[in-house]
Amino acid sequence: MNEVVTDSLVILKRNLIRFRRQPEMLAGYTIQPIMFVLLFVYVFGGSINTGMDYVDFLIPGILVQNITFGGALTAVGLVEDLNKGLIDRFRSLPMARSAVLTGRTLADVVVNILMTVIVIIVGLLVGFSFSNTTVPNVLYGLFLLLLFGYGFSWLFALIGLISTSAENAQQFGFILIFPLTFISSAFVPVENMPPVLEAFANVNPFTITVDAMRHLFVGTPAGNSVWGATLWSLGLIAVFAPIAVLKYRRVSAR
């Protein structure tokens, strides 16, 4: 167990150094949420009736969307490592197989913290505020946000391992994530959607997590969203982490 932790931290450090030397990898994932915030607040916000200040409605949705897109870095990074033969080098080293994926996904957590800070700062600048809430709620909201993103990092790890190129991994991930984020309560109230889409949106993990963030950050009614989002986050990790590790072992054994 100690070896897994140590090896994972080494891989984590390696990926963080990689981000520092290739800052362009992070550019899209830090600039995109800023553009989304400004676009929706100043272009669409005045046309969308949510029953509350739209910026307070929007920021939790942008945070959840952004935190899941961050996992694409794992998919792209793994494909590049596979194509460059780096995985073969890892296989020749006396290290735990699972450490490569664990360290890679933990790097996403660090990146997600950075992106979350950026979105919150931009949100505060355009009028967002943590209202009708408490410090413990906000802290749990941040933890839950990172946990949800970590679950999707494992999903993206699996996508990276089954993709043939970085472009394919990124496109496949976005094709999967975009419908889930937009057919949810992230940007508009679900009751404004056609019945079929509303039914899907109500059970969509993005809706559940966004609603949990709104409760924890701005005090909207919670319903079952907080524990539901927690279970979804843990479920994503429990399902996709073992599958991704198994796939990695098969890939690295070739």
* Cα distance between residue 202 and residue 191, in whole Å: 9
28: Cβ–Cβ under 8 A, 6 or more apart, which residues? Answer: none
pLDDT number for residue 237: 94
Rounded CA-CA distance 80/78 in Å is: 5
Q: Which of the pair, 233 or 172, is modelled with greater confidence?
A: 233
Share of the chain above pLDDT 90, in %: 29
Rounded Cα–Cα distance for residues 226 and 204 (Å): 14
213 Cβ contact partners less than 8 Å away, ≥ 6 residues apart? 60, 61, 63, 64, 141, 144, 145, 229
Mean pLDDT of all residues in 146-174: 84
Supply the DSSP string of 24-69, one letter for each residue: HHHHHHHHHHHHHHHHIIIIIGGG---SS-HHHHHHHHHHHHHHHH
pLDDT score of 61: 92
pTM: 0.87
Report the alpha-carbon distance of residue 44 to residue 28 in Å, rounded. Answer: 22
- At 230 the pLDDT is 95
**CB proximity list for 253: less than 8 A, separation 6 or greater:** 91
The residue among 234, 232, 12, 2 whose CA lies nearest residue 101 is 12
Q: Tell whether the model's pLDDT for residue 192 goes beyond 90.
A: no
- Token readout for 176 is 């999967």
**How far is the C-alpha of 157 from the C-alpha of 165, rounded, in Å?**
13
The number of folded domains in the chain is 1
Q: Are residues 170 and 75 in contact, defined by beta-carbon separation less than 8 angstroms? A: yes
DSSP-derived secondary structure letter, 190: G
Is the pLDDT score of 96 beyond 90? Answer: no
Residue 105 DSSP symbol: H
User: pLDDT tens digits for 22-76?
Assistant: 666 666 667 778 888 888 888 877 777 777 888 999 999 999 988 887 777 777 7
Q: Domain limits at 149?
A: 2-252
Residues counted in the chain:
254
